[in-house]
Amino acid sequence: MGVIDIHHLMDTAMLFDRPEFDMADYLKQAPVPADYDLREKIEDWRENGVVIFENAVAPAEIDRFLDDIAFLCREPKAFDLEIEFRGARHRLCEIDFNPLSDTGVKFNCLENISLAARNLSLNKFACDFLGHVFQEPPVVLQSLTFWRGSNQPAHTDYPYVRTQTKLSHLAASWTSLEDVHADAGPLAYYPGSHRPGAVTPFDWGGGSVVLEPDSQRNAKELAPYLHEQLAAADLKPKIFLPKKGDVLVWHGWLVHEGTKTRNLGLTRKSYVTHFTSMSAYPRAHLFPNALKDGKYTRRHGGYVFDHPWVKDERCLPSWR
Ligand SMILES: O=C(O)CCC(=O)C(=O)O
Ligand SMILES: [Fe+2]
């Protein structure tokens, strides 16, 4: 495959980002959601690159997920799960510290082993809306579970989250697992930064818009570049201070960041899911006859596929 360049990014743009998109025509034929205003959400998406669904997850569903995490932390030796701690990757079964201690931890892809995680990813509002965004069923690519603020500098996701065969078929949901305090390092995003032309994609070398192992440019160069672009376009950050159960969905081109944690004593429990469309989902991540053999979870029109390489299947409390 050649360089994944800006032409690929633009050629794979989703319906609502295309200049020919016509809201009135679209709404005439679109299925009408029962529990949110589709026109308002599409307008938010096109204008800001973000939609917010308040109170979208029942507290009991979140608590089931937190129970799974508590189980993992009591039995870390039993799980071959990847986690990130202080910027380094570890296997949960190999660590000798409490994964929820001081600076906190990021669990990768808990949806592989937790039904509660799958249910959070396949949230009714997020999946229904993303079905409109993608014009196809949304499929989970990965999830990230944060116990504390990420303090992650400004970035877009597509240079990093890029196993989908159409790079622009990318969106993410951010589910709040508790009320988020302003000093806990909340998520910030730059409304409008997803619009074509607002921010020129970063060139990682040779015209590539994605980070490769041999890229000429370094991930540390991205944030300063984006801040210059955001200042030139006069785009200002907005801070997301959700209540437990609120869900924010962002566009794969949107610039966002984890703000600085001002009070290191506070947690900021959140669950992020990255989605692509069914047609862009990487075939190598599926069992050979995944649909026929039921190697997936389907809910609210969205999918989580089982992966051939996952060992710790279905052993957490939420599967019982
Ligand atoms: O939650 C955060 O602080 C940032 C998360 C993020 O950027 C991501 O998961 O893509
Ligand atoms: Fe991100």
Q: pLDDT for 74-91, tens place per residue? A: 888 888 888 888 778 888
Confirm if 12 and 166 have CB atoms less than 8 A apart: yes
Please choose from 110, 272, 273, 274 the residue to mutate so as to test ligand 1's pocket, defined by most ligand atoms within 8 A of CB.
272
- The answer to whether residue 151 sits within a structural domain is yes
- The answer to whether residue 114 sits within a structural domain is no
Distance 22 CA to ligand 1 centre (A): 31
In this predicted structure, what is the pLDDT of residue 103? 62
- The answer to whether residue 103 sits within a structural domain is no
For ligand 1, whether the C-beta of 178 sits within 6 Å is no
For ligand 1, whether the C-beta of 268 sits within 6 Å is no
- The answer to whether residue 109 sits within a structural domain is no
- The answer to whether residue 138 sits within a structural domain is yes
Whole-prediction pTM: 0.97
In this predicted structure, what is the pLDDT of residue 102? 60
- The answer to whether residue 230 sits within a structural domain is yes
Tens digits of residue pLDDT in 243-290: 999 999 999 999 999 999 999 999 999 999 999 999 999 999 999 999
CATH number of residue 281's parent domain: 2.60.120.620
In this predicted structure, what is the pLDDT of residue 144? 96
For atom 8 of ligand 1, which residue has the closest CA? 272
In this predicted structure, what is the pLDDT of residue 251? 98
Q: Are strands 238-239 and 187-189 parallel, antiparallel or unpaired?
A: antiparallel
Confirm if 68 and 145 have CB atoms less than 8 A apart: no
For ligand 1, whether the C-beta of 17 sits within 6 Å is no
- The answer to whether residue 242 sits within a structural domain is yes
Q: How far apart are CA 310 and CA 79, in angstroms?
A: 11
Location of structure tokens 């800001």: 48
For ligand 1, whether the C-beta of 157 sits within 6 Å is yes
Ligand 1 atom at minimal distance to the Cα of residue 149 = 3
Confirm if 49 and 195 have CB atoms less than 8 A apart: yes
Residues of the chain below pLDDT 70: 1, 101-104
**What range defines the domain where residue 274 resides?**
6-21+34-95+123-319
Is residue 15 helix, strand or coil?
helix
Q: How far apart are CA 243 and CA 178, in angstroms?
A: 6
For ligand 1, whether the C-beta of 187 sits within 6 Å is yes
For ligand 1, whether the C-beta of 270 sits within 6 Å is yes
For ligand 1, whether the C-beta of 152 sits within 6 Å is yes
> How many separate domains does the chain show?
1
